[in-house]
Amino acid sequence: MNDIILLKLGEIVLKGLNRKSFEQKLLNNIRKRLDHVGEFRTYCIQSTIYVEGSDRADMDAAFEALRKVFGIIKMERASACEKDKNAIVDRAKEYLKEDLLKAKSFKVESKRSDKSFPMTSIELSQYVGGELAEAFPHLRVDVHDPELTVYVEVRDLAAYVHGPAVSGAGGMPVGSNGVAVTMLSGGIDSPVSTYMIARRGVRLIPVHYFSFPYTSELAKEKVLKLASLLTEYCGRMTVEIVPFTHIQEEIRSNCPEEYFTLIMRRFMMRIAERIARDNGAKAIVTGENLGQVASQTMEAMASTQAVTDLPVLQPLIGMDKQDIIEMAREIGTFETSILPYEDCCTVFTPKHPRTKPKVKDVEAAEKGLDIEGLVEEAVKGIERVTVNIGEEVV
C-alpha cells in the first residue's frame, strides 16, 4: 500500500544558513538508527524527512526506533498516492478503513505545499470529507471535536494520507552541538542527565569510575547496561572505565576524612578533563542536583569544579527528585539503575562530610597526594568498551 513514514523537523527549521548541515546530521543519524532494522530510502524535502522501506523492511520496528531519534518533533505513518482528488479519496478509504469504521465522527484537514494542485486546501478537505461521509454513512462530520481526523498532504512528489501524528523525541540531532564527556555512575541521575544533554545535540563519551574489589564486576556490568539502553537515544558510545581504587585508597590514607568525597570528586573532574581533551570534547556533564547530597551544595560543587577549565553542564541542577525518577522511567533506565550494585561513590564515605567547604581548605587537605601521578596512572589504565545500538550487553 506504499506505506511511508513522514518525520517533521523540530528546532532545525529555525536555523539560518547552516540549516542544511543540521538536516544532514539528522539524516545520517536516522540512517544509522535504521541499519539493524532493514533497507530504507531517506530524504528531506520542505522540512519533512521521508522514510521509504523496501519490501523486506519492518515499518513497525522502524517507526518505534525513530521515536527515539533527537531532532524530530512529529511522526506519521502515511500512504502515498497520485496527486489526484479521486486517488486521494480511494487511498483514504483503503488506508484508514479500520479507523473510519471504528470512529463515530471525523473531519478532514488538508495541506497543499504543491501550489500547482488545482484545489485549495479547504476545497480538497470538503471534497474528501464528502466522499468519506458517503462511503461510511455511520460517520458524522464534526469539525470542532472529531473522534478521528483524516490528514491529507499534497507535496512535491505525491499526495499523502494519514491519521493523527505522534510526538517525536524533539531536541537537536546528536552530534550537531559538539562532544562532551558525561559522568555515568550506576545511579538514577546520571543516565537522565546524559539523555538530557544528548537531546540538545551533543555526542557523549561516558566515563565510569570503577573501584574493584570495593565495587563488584556486577556494578560495572550495570553501567554498561545503562549505556546500552542510552544508545537508543545517543547512538553508539564508547564507555571509558577508569580504575579508581588506588586513588580512593590514597585519599583514605593521606587526607582528612571529612574531605574524602570532595577530593574524590575533584579527581573525577581532573580525569574527565583529560579524557575530554584527548577526544576533542568541550564540556563535562554531571548528574548533580542542588542540595541532594553533601557534595552537591553550592560550596561543594564550587570546590569540585575549581580543578577544571571546561564548562560543567548540570541539566538536573534544579529538578525535583521525583521528576528525575519519572524521566528515568520514561527513557527506560530506572529499573536498571535501582539494581543493588553500589558504585565507587559509596566507597569510604565520611561520617560527617564537609557541606560548605572553602576551596583553599580542600586544596590543603589533598596536598599530601601525588595528584599528577595518580591521574596519569588512572588514565593509562582506562578500559574502553563500545556499546552499539540494538546490541545486548552481557
Domain CATH code at residue 302: 3.40.50.620
pLDDT of residue 207: 98
Report the DSSP beta bridge partners of residue 111.
153
**Whole-number Å distance between alpha carbons of 322 and 113:** 44
Task: Please give the grid coordinates belonging to residue 26.
Answer: 539528522
CB-based contacts of 153, cutoff 8 Å, min separation 6 = 6, 78, 110, 111, 113, 159, 160, 162
Whether residue 72 has pLDDT greater than 70: yes
Copy the grid coordinates of residue 339: 539494581
Global confidence as pTM = 0.90
Residue 172 lies in a domain: no
Confidence of residue 344 (pLDDT cuts 50, 70, 90): low
Mean pLDDT of 291-306: 90
**Residue whose cell numbers read 581548605:** 361
CATH number where 116 lies: 3.30.2130.30
Instruction: Looking at the structure, tell me whether residues 330 and 304 fall in a common domain.
Output: yes
Q: Are residues 62 and 200 in the same domain?
A: no
C-alpha to C-alpha distance for 49 and 23, rounded to whole angstroms: 9
Q: How many CB atoms lie within 10 A of CB 41?
A: 12
Strands 284-285 and 179-183: parallel
Residue 14 neighbours by CB distance under 10 Å: 9
Mean pLDDT of 30-55: 90
Cα separation, 177 vs 70, in Å, equals 12
135-147: average pLDDT: 95
Q: What is the pLDDT confidence band of residue 390, given thresholds at 50, 70 and 90? A: low
Task: Return d(Cα 33, Cα 38) in angstroms, integer.
Answer: 10
Q: What is the pLDDT of residue 3?
A: 87
pLDDT band at 166 (very low <50, low <70, confident <90, very high): very high
Mean pLDDT of all residues in 21-26:
94
Mean pLDDT (the chain) is 93
Q: Please state the rounded mean pLDDT for residues 63-67.
A: 95
- All cell numbers assigned to 41: 530510502
What contacts 163, CB < 8 A, 6 or more positions away?
A: 76, 77, 96, 99, 148, 149, 150, 151
| Pairing verdict, β 237-243 and 383-387 | antiparallel
Asked if the model's pLDDT at residue 343 lies above 90, the reply is: no
Does residue 119 lie in a domain region? yes
Mean pLDDT of 319-328: 96
Q: Which of 182, 186, 184, 183 has its CA nearest to residue 343?
A: 186
The pLDDT value recorded for residue 200 is 97
Q: What DSSP line would sit under 44-71, residue for residue? A: EETTEEEEEE-TT--HHHHHHHHTT-TT
- Same domain? For 23 and 118 the reply is no
**Which pLDDT value is given to residue 201?**
97
Residue 28: give the domain boundaries: 1-79
Region 174-185: what's the mean pLDDT? 96
Last residue in a domain, options 49, 79, 109: 79
- In a 13 Å sphere around the CA of 124, the CA atoms on its Cβ side amount to 28
Q: Taking the chain, what is the end-to-end CA distance rounded to the nearest angstrom?
A: 40
* Structural domain ending residue among the three candidates 79, 95, 119: 79
Tens-digit pLDDT profile for residues 217-262 = 999 999 999 999 999 999 999 999 999 999 999 999 999 999 999 9
**Are β-strands 237-243 and 203-210 bridged in parallel, bridged antiparallel, or unpaired?**
parallel
> Count of domains in the chain?
3
Q: Are residues 197 and 307 in the same domain?
A: yes
Give the other-Cβ count within 10 Å of 156's Cβ: 11
Judgement on whether residues 116 and 38 belong to the same structural domain of the protein: no
Q: Which pLDDT does position 345 carry in this prediction?
A: 66
Residue 393 scores a pLDDT above 70: no
Q: What is the pLDDT of residues 94-127, one digit of tens each?
A: 999 999 999 999 999 999 999 999 999 999 999 9
Judge if 372 and 281 occupy the same domain. Answer: yes
